Structures are given as structure tokens and as C-alpha cells.
């Protein structure tokens, strides 16, 4: 299978779905990480171009840990909007990757770049398969299944499905640690926040809900394809108790 994860900033995919992608990669699937913005506001000292270059190198190192392909979309951090050029770029990422499964941010996450990128993915995945939606690339041959990733911090998100990432938690953590510049930056703006500990708290809390040590959590977008997406998640998948078997 082709698996595509679209994260708003360098590091988001690692926090929310890094373990799930590691499981896909270990099972021999082709994994692509598309990072929408270049992180060019995330430094207390460097210029925008300088920090963007640092963050791209960090993201490349993280993707390389699981053999994932990186698509660096290079939009300005904090300034993402759903306009025609932007949506066209998203359509072309889907067309180039030809994914069977896509992961995107959900609509209630805290950051506008997260919410807007997620909405564009939701809105781009069907046009990506429409021939007369003309862009630089030919139409995708199918409409991919789509999962919404957990919100950062797990706030305002009701999981439907948990993926047990216990066996790859070390890899997920190593991927996140590649984003070394953000450790410094987040400690500066969020009052000493420990980035990796923050990720571990979320994965541990989701693990507790799922009855495993570490988990990542998702919701399924059911509009199309209508059923069967959960079977496409890797490893051990645990339906959320709160989902009440609704899927
Ligand atoms: Zn982010």
C-alpha cells in the first residue's frame, strides 16, 4: 500500500502518527510524509530562511529513520490559507503519491495551520481523482481512505480507533528527537515545556484508554470510501470504548 501522512509543521506527524507510520514501514508499505509548512517561525534567534533549512534537515533525518519519503511543501508557517494555489498543491501531493490511505489533522485541533491543512486534505482527496480537475499532474487512479489524526495534547478529540504503537515507541521517540531545534524553541515559548515528555504523556494516555502501553488514536472519515478503513491500519487496532461499536 501507499500511505500518506500530511502534517502542518515539521514534527506534527511524529507526535500524532509516527508510530503508526513506523508500523506501516516495517510491514513493507511505502510511506510518504508530506510536511505543509516549513516551520520558518520556530526560532528565537535564526532568520526565517535559516530556521526553515534547519527544520527541513531535521525532518529529512526523521523520515529516513523509517525509510519514508519526504514531501516538503514549503508554505510559510502560520500563514496557511485554503485558496486555489494551495489546494492545487495538495491535490498534486495526492496525485504524486497515489495513496491508498491518508492521514490528516482534524477540524478541532488548536492550531490554524493544523485545522486548515486537514480541511484541505479532506477537500482535495476526491478532486485529486477527477480528470477534469486539471493540474500539473494526471488524476489519481483512486480516492484514498482517510483518517484524522488525534489533536495535539489529545484535547477535544474523541478517538474511534487506537493503534498499539508499543513495539515502535522507541522509533517514534527517536523520530521526534530529530526535531532538536523545536526542543529549544518550545522550552522558550511554552515555559520550559519538555517536548518528548509531552508526546509520551499523550501516547501513554491513549494507551491507557486502549488497554496497551502506548497508542496513537484516529477517527475515520466515512463519506467515501464508506467502510472498511479500519482494516487498513497497521498492527493491533483497538476500537475505542467511547465509539460504542458505532463504526
Ligand atoms: Zn504543528
Please give the distance, rounded to the nearest whole angstrom, from the Cα atom of residue 23 to the centre of ligand 1. Answer: 22
Question: 245 CA to middle of ligand 1, Å?
Answer: 31
Which triple of cell numbers denotes residue 34? 508530506
Which H or E run contains 103? strand 101-104
What distance in angstroms lies between residue 132's CA and the mean position of ligand 1's atoms? Answer: 33
What is the pTM assigned to this prediction?
0.95
List, in sequence order, every residue forming a beta bridge with 199; answer none if it has no partner. none
Gap from CA of 114 to ligand 1 centroid (Å): 6
Tens digit of pLDDT for each residue in 12-65? 999 999 999 999 999 999 999 999 999 999 888 999 999 999 999 999 999 999
Cβ-contact 158, 209 below 8 angstroms: no
- Which residue is listed with cell 500524532? 16
Helices (H), the chain: 12-26, 48-65, 84-97, 112-124, 169-177, 180-189, 195-210
* 29 C-alpha to ligand 1 centroid (Å): 25
Residue 13 CA to ligand 1 centre (angstroms): 8
Q: Stretch 195-211: mean pLDDT, rounded?
A: 96
User: How many Å lie between the centroid of ligand 1 and the Cα of residue 15?
Assistant: 9
Domains and CATH numbers, the chain: 2-243 (3.40.50.10320)
Calpha distance 1→183 (Å, rounded): 33
Q: Which grid cell is 137?
A: 499532474
Contacting residues for 193 by C-beta, under 8 A, at least 6 apart: 186, 187
Whether 247 shows a pLDDT value over 60: the answer reads no
CA Rg value for the chain = 17
Whole-number Å distance, alpha carbon 202 to ligand 1 midpoint, is 15
Question: For 110-131, what is the mean pLDDT?
Answer: 97
Q: To the nearest whole number, what is the mean pLDDT of the chain?
A: 94
Distance (angstroms) between ligand 1 centre and the Cα of 10 equals 7
Neighbours of ion ligand 1 (CB under 5 A): 8-9, 12
Do residues 204 and 230 make contact, with C-beta atoms less than 8 angstroms apart?
A: no
Q: How far is the CA of 11 from the centre of ligand 1 (A)?
A: 7
Distance 242 CA to ligand 1 centre (A): 26
Task: For residue 245, name the pLDDT band (cuts at 50, 70, 90).
Answer: very low
| Ligand 1 mean position, distance from CA 112 (Å) | 9
Average pLDDT over residues 129-158: 96
Amino acid at each position: 500500500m501507499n500511505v500518506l501522512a500530511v502534517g502542518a509543521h515539521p514534527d506534527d506527524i511524529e507526535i500524532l502518527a509516527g508510530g503508526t507510520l513506523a508500523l506501516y514501514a516495517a510491514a513493507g508499505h511505502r510511506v510518504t510524509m508530506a510536511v505543509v509548512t516549513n516551520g520558518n517561525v520556530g526560532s528565537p534567534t535564526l532568520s526565517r530562511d535559516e530556521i526553515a533549512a534547519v527544520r527541513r534537515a531535521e525532518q529529512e533525518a526523521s523520515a529516513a529513520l523509517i525509510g519514508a519519503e519526504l514531501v516538503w511543501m514549503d508554505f510559510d508557517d502560520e500563514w496557511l490559507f485554503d485558496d486555489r494555489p494551495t489546494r492545487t498543491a495538495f491535490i498534486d501531493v495526492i496525485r504524486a503519491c497515489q495513496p491508498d490511505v491518508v492521514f490528516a489533522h482534524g477540524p478541532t485541533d488548536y492550531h490554524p495551520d493544523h485545522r486548515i491543512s486537514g480541511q484541505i486534505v479532506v477537500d482535495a482527496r476526491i478532486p485529486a481523482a477527477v480528470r477534469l480537475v486539471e493540474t500539473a499532474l494526471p488524476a489519481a487512479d483512486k480516492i484514498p481512505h482517510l483518517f484524522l489524526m488525534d489533536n495535539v495534547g489529545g484535547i477535544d478529540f474523541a478517538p474511534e480507533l487506537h493503534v498499539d504503537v508499543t513495539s515502535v515507541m522507541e522509533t517514534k521517540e527517536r523520530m521526534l528527537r530529530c526535531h532538536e531545534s523545536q526542543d529549544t524553541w518550545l522550552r522558550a515559548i511554552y515555559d520550559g515545556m519538555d517536548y518528548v515528555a509531552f508526546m509520551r504523556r499523550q501516547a501513554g494516555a491513549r494507551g491507557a484508554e486502549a488497554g496497551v502501553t502506548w497508542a496513537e488514536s484516529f477517527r475515520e472519515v466515512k463519506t467515501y470510501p464508506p467502510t472498511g478503513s479500519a482494516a487498513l491500519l497497521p498492527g493491533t487496532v483497538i476500537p475505542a470504548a467511547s465509539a460504542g461499536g458505532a463504526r
